[in-house]
Structure 1
Amino acid sequence: MNKIGVFLTVVVAITNCSGVIYSLNDAELELFPPVYRWEDSEKCMKEPNGVYCVVDANLVTDTPNPLLNTIHEYSQHTALHYNRTYITYGICLTSSCKSFNNLDRKQNIEGCLNETLWREYKLKTKLHEEPACIQQGKQFEITTTDLAVAALFAWIVFLSFIGTSYDLYFKDRLDFQFLAIFSVRRHWDKLVDTSEKTNSIQNRLKCLDGIRAIFLILLFGCHACFLVIINVSNPSAVEESFAVEWLQPLMNMHLSMSCFFLISSTLLSYNLQISKEKKDITKVEILRRMLKRWCRLTPTYAIVLLYIVTWYRHQGSGPFWMSIYKSRIEPCREIGWYNILYVNNFLSSSMCMLQTWYLAAEMQLHLLGLIVCIIFNGTTRRIVLCALFMVGLIIPAILTYIHDLDMQLMTSIELVRKYFLPNPTFQHVYRHSYTNVSCYAMGLSLGLIVYHLQLQNFNIQKYKNYLPLYYFALLVNAGVIYLGSVPYANAPRLSITIRVVLAAIMKPVLAGGTAVLIFGAIFKYEDKLRSFLEWKGWTILYRLCYSAYLVHLSLIDYQFATSDLRRASYIEMAILAFGVIAVSFIVALMLWLLVESPLAEITDQAFKEKNISLKDNSIVSNGKKTT
């Protein structure tokens, strides 16, 4: 207690008037109870009737405790510090808690923890939910549903085998040509085909493949860094890394999701204008296109979801795997159908495939975009787009003010530990369609502008003198990403006024900078950046990105749920990031060849329109006439 007394005296001197402690040295942090503590689970499982539990508990006390007060004050700096009043321990009940066997399991563990922490720190704990436990000899049973899904997967593999064999040996025969749709060779050739296609908008907009692939790879790397935040033996090193300025922008890569809304809506409005050259589009087309989009996205999504609710739980083992089962897999088994309806972003408590909030929000905005582009025209459409843009600015600002939110979703240590959901900014602003509508409206406008300028034979080379301003868009985007690092500073929280303003404008400004870069690349304003974005390799990677996006968080969950406490380091972070990215794309390749590409081809055939003569309304791009 003498050490703790000296320590508390020093702390008083470095604590500011707000009651927040911004930094402590390693020796001082050693006086805190460990954030993570794991007993040997393998040894526990070798004991007769061994039971091992992972518990999350809050530190409490029945009497005034200066140490707990200090822990609270240190934990108040939520941007850079763990909540050290919230601990995660792995306990072998059969060896460490033998004397606590007359109560239910939760009370038994709480009493056992209290005995240890009171002896070492004069602290107690409060468990707020049932612990996740494993018991020797007990495993998940294989159910009828598991077998049915296994049969479905086997059928998919069988179709691929038959289709590939037909494509290799019988492709000249006219009967059973539909089998070639499932040929792996056929879809491999399609995957690696980066040749320029006649009458294809990809020749004009192929820079978008590069932008999307780059942003997604960076996002996967950012998510992989979660592995050195959760279940680590040196949490102080993680806190120090969050204070490193050059690493903080990486934690803000989630802001790039606004650019995906921009690109998606740009393609939507541009494609609709191309379609209007062929035929008049009526309101019925809204339903047809929504159904086609659902059929295009859902099969791969459903296959991944089916795997998660059935065989995924059989793949892992260890004490933390049960925690993953309870938090990630059980919600999918109970309410996974919300995901298939693309309304899961309205669920406040489900962790089922949490990354798919974007698919739900984008599907909802896609419907809105179809309505705007098909029902409205001319001046009315411009007014509607302006109104949607303003709504997209106002709603996040209002919600930020009402709920006292951060200016944007901030990737703090505790956000990752608790898997985003308890975070009010994520709940109220980040994952909803109506809070991202400003970026979507910008994309709809960009697609319309690009289309009409191509009709007018727009020559951007006349504005070559403004090239420095074009490159300035890169600095704007970098500035927005860096601005997201402001809350990491050792300073009081920004005022509500500043947070409201930044909540309204940060994502639209980032989307605006990206729109400028896209516009210049489409019209070939400069060569260096455009050549990089139009590299053919990006096209191949982007084709795999949808499947990779669906599976990458499950791979991350598996990695940290089946590992012991790891020691956080920059090398470990880099290795894990590279591994997650590589394995995500390998799994995505299999999904693309066996599921996504074949079923996308079937969808295209089912919704194929009859050939209709084009209107005399050709598109001219940089002096080259195309139709």
Structure 2
Amino acid sequence: MNTNLIHSRRSLKMIKLILLLFLLKKCSGFDLDDVEYEKMPPLFALDDYDRCLLYNGTYCVIRTDLSAEPGNELMTMIKNYTKSSRVKHYDHSYLNKGICVTSTCRDYIGDKDVNSQSDIQDILDACENQTIYDKYGLQAKVTKIFYCDTAETKVDKKDLLDWIVLGVIALIVFINVAATMYDSTLDEKKVANLSFGIKMLLCFSMARNWKYLVAPPNEDPKMNKLQGIDFVRTAASFMMVLGHVNWIYTMGFVDNPHDFERSYNLMHFQVIYNGMIVVQIFFVISGFLLVYNLESSEKNRPSVKDMPKIIINRFCRLAPPMAVVIALNATWARFLSTGPLWKLYVSSMVHDCRKWWWSHLLFVNNYLIENKYCTVQTWHTAADTQVFLVAILLYFLVKPRARTLVVGLVFLIGMILPMLHIYFQDLDAQMLKTPEMLRSLDDPNRYPYVFSHNNICCYLLGMVTAYKLYRWEKQGVTFNGKIARIWSKMLVPVMILCFLTGNFFHEEDYRTPLWIRMLWQGTHRLFLGFPMASLLVSMVMGVDNLIQDIMKWPVFKITGKLTYSVFLLHETFTPLIAGSKSNLEHFAYFNLLIYQCGIVVLTYILSVPFYLMVEASVTQLVRLLLVKERPVLSPADPDHTKKNVEYNRKADKIEENGSIILNGNELNDNVLNELLDKAVREETKKTS
């Protein structure tokens, strides 16, 4: 016994030693002090754009590659520093600049024509090479001219598509205003005898949609248990916006890139850089709500015949709001401002939206890797829709007895496929927000992150959680023990810690072994998925009433309904702000928070009219078209109330169980159901 104890202690000491050596090896990269860092040419530079064009100058945004003769100490230092951390350091062997050619490079123009592509290349090559050689002793070559602006080409000319989109937006606004004004003239008698066409028009009434938005929480006990989901949606949306706002700095053109590189060692930034995993929260919620609604409606459960309606319902509700945002990004967004970087960031978005708009509306844009700039956040819209289709096929077509086996196999496949990406493509263990990835938005590690087949596990986890939870509720199972309450209080901190797990792979000069990267890629999404599933169980079971009361604060009901609008709108601000910069930005955590708060507030403000005029209007219109009109029954009928209630349930079964749950936003019309139920209760009182 003593011998075994001694061996166990020795083994423990050996494990600790191995971990210590491993961590030391991972920290073997080096950093430069500020004095040494300043010896390198600055990564970014911007001449005065407005002054350049004011005097009829030519302004070009370029990429300059550096080189030197063998043995050059500065070039050696640049290469060593760049290679010492491929995750935390920029590639300092090339520079990004905005240059006023007619001012900075006027000595190299001579008799050359600045409007000629070949001449401007020669001018910039000579100018950059001589300037950098004189100051740093390095050779320079302009390898890419992104674009050159003059006073005449500063602003794009409007085309036919711009005016078509403007006409459509004006028509949407006109219909909403007309519907709202007409709605204000109606009384109870007129409301009871409306034609189908008028009912379609009233779907666009902003007054009615506002009532839906601010309506009190549902009194249905089943829905009341899920009110905390609105808090989770809001918190996750805030985290999502924070991660995207960070791109304003990380896409480049900052005056302190060294501070940005060092920020990878600070915990409050590490949460942001590892924040891509936050989307798994939405996948878990989506799968959970889908199955929980289906299981909770045993008497009126949709069948296989209802699948086409469910799919059409989802498409018709998601696509129109997205189409409006993409149309604006493809047209009028480019006229909102100008600047030296406007065409670099905003025109790229416009180009991709005009080329790839159809892929977003067909929900396949996440598999088109060339589409890098157009509403990049909607990869999740596509992935969620693709996984949703798989989920309803599993639910409706697989017999209950075989469902466990089939779901288990699909779950296993969902873990293996990400591993195969690592094996065949030699990728990182997870998508890492490296400076170079954010600088170019071109990184092969991004693609496994957005593919739906790599994100199916958390969706299935949400489905299984809902299925088991509903069974526990029917069996009277409760989780009121001390351990359950402690675990419930720990869930939020545990989920926050999950955002720090990616730090393990912020290696310096060490390449993580292939088998570790494969294992991590296949499982790391579940590290956040399991706590999120536990939070849903705790929420429905009422394990911790204090936390539940906080999460059920009524304001989160409103922000939860706005989640999809916020999701669609917020990312537009990132290229607009980054493109409107006229000077180098200063990277600092306080500045980041200022941008974060400003964009969050502005997005929520804009999301309200967007929700009222587009999203909610489309929701009501789709409901009207897909759900048959409720028959008017005589109050003299003794079964009047019962028939109304039964019809509402039957009519809503497609609506509720086929709900669109995207980005954590359950887009089914629960508020309208609440109003119908309330009307039935009032009518019952009158009859009695």
Counterpart in the other structure of 1:149: 165
Counterpart in the other structure of 1:203: 224
Counterpart in the other structure of 1:586: 605
Name which of structure 1's ranges 122-131 and 228-237 shifts more when overlaid on structure 2. Answer: 122-131
Contact 1:263 1:443 in 2 (8 A): yes
Counterpart in the other structure of 1:89: 97
Correspondences of 1:372-387 after superposition (within 5 Å): 372-387=394-409
SS state at 2:338 partner: coil
Q: 2:485 aligns with which of 467, 491, 498?
A: 467
Q: 1:257 aligns with which of 268, 271, 279?
A: 279
| C-alpha distance in 1 between matches for 2:613 and 2:44 | 41
Counterpart in the other structure of 1:38: 46
Q: 2:126 aligns with which of 92, 111, 118?
A: 111
Q: Which AA in structure 1 matches 2:137?
A: K
Counterpart in the other structure of 1:413: 435
Counterpart in the other structure of 2:682: none
SS state at 1:246 partner: helix
| C-alpha distance in 2 between matches for 1:309 and 1:568 | 29
Q: Which runs of 5+ in 2 are unaligned?
A: 1-23, 631-645, 651-676, 678-688
Write out per-residue CA displacement over residues 517-548 of structure 1, whole angstroms, 9 at most, x where no aligned residue.
Answer: 11111111111222222222222112112111
Contact 2:562 2:608 in 1 (8 A): yes
Counterpart in the other structure of 2:591: 572
Q: Which AA in structure 2 matches 1:135?
A: T
Write out per-residue CA displacement over residues 209-266 of structure 1, whole angstroms, 9 at most, x where no aligned residue.
Answer: 1112101111211221222333211111222222212321222221111111111111
Write out per-residue CA displacement over residues 307-358 of structure 1, whole angstroms, 9 at most, x where no aligned residue.
Answer: 0111111112112001124422101111211111110111112121111111
Contact 2:255 2:585 in 1 (8 A): yes
Contact 2:128 2:142 in 1 (8 A): no
Q: Which runs of 5+ in 1 are unaligned?
A: 1-15, 616-625
Correspondences of 1:53-72 after superposition (within 5 Å): 53-61=60-68, 63-72=70-79
| C-alpha distance in 2 between matches for 1:455 and 1:19 | 53
Q: 1:494 aligns with which of 484, 487, 512?
A: 512
Contact 1:133 1:319 in 2 (8 A): no
SS state at 1:409 partner: coil
SS state at 1:132 partner: strand
Correspondences of 1:222-621 after superposition (within 5 Å): 222-229=243-250, 230-279=252-301, 281-282=303-304, 284-351=305-372, 352-419=374-441, 422-427=442-447, 429-461=448-480, 463-488=481-506, 492-563=510-581, 564-608=583-627
Counterpart in the other structure of 2:237: 216
SS state at 2:512 partner: coil
Does residue 140 of structure 1 match 2:148? no
Q: Which AA in structure 2 matches 1:69?
A: T
Tell me the number of residue pairs that the alignment of Structure 1 and Structure 2 aligns. Answer: 594
Counterpart in the other structure of 1:11: none
| C-alpha distance in 1 between matches for 2:101 and 2:94 | 20
| C-alpha distance in 2 between matches for 1:268 and 1:106 | 57
Correspondences of 1:17-32 after superposition (within 5 Å): 21-32=29-40
Name which of structure 1's ranges 442-451 and 364-373 shifts more when overlaid on structure 2. Answer: 442-451
Change (3 A) 1:494 1:532: farther
Contact 2:90 2:435 in 1 (8 A): yes
| C-alpha distance in 1 between matches for 2:364 and 2:342 | 27
Deviation at 1:177, TM superposition (A): 4.7
| C-alpha distance in 2 between matches for 1:18 and 1:464 | 40
Change (3 A) 1:319 1:345: same
Change (3 A) 1:297 1:97: same
Deviation at 1:481, TM superposition (A): 1.6
| C-alpha distance in 2 between matches for 1:181 and 1:475 | 42
TM-score normalised to the size of structure 2? 0.82
Write out per-residue CA displacement over residues 556-615 of structure 1, whole angstroms, 9 at most, x where no aligned residue.
Answer: 111111012122222211111111111121221121111111111101111215776779
Deviation at 1:468, TM superposition (A): 2.2
Contact 2:63 2:96 in 1 (8 A): yes
| C-alpha distance in 2 between matches for 1:577 and 1:599 | 30
What is the percent sequence identity of the aligned residues?
25
Change (3 A) 1:280 1:55: closer
* Structure with greater Cα Rg: 2
Deviation at 1:382, TM superposition (A): 0.7
TM-score normalised to the size of structure 1? 0.89
Name which of structure 1's ranges 172-181 and 50-59 shifts more when overlaid on structure 2. Answer: 172-181
SS state at 2:65 partner: strand
Deviation at 1:276, TM superposition (A): 4.7
Does residue 169 of structure 1 match 2:191? no
Deviation at 1:273, TM superposition (A): 2.7
SS state at 2:454 partner: coil
Name which of structure 1's ranges 558-567 and 170-179 shifts more when overlaid on structure 2. Answer: 170-179
Change (3 A) 1:231 1:493: same
Contact 1:35 1:84 in 2 (8 A): yes
Spell out structure 1 runs of 4+ moving beyond 6 A: 16-20
Change (3 A) 1:375 1:94: same
Q: CA RMSD in A?
A: 2.4
SS state at 1:196 partner: coil
Counterpart in the other structure of 2:658: none
Counterpart in the other structure of 2:639: none
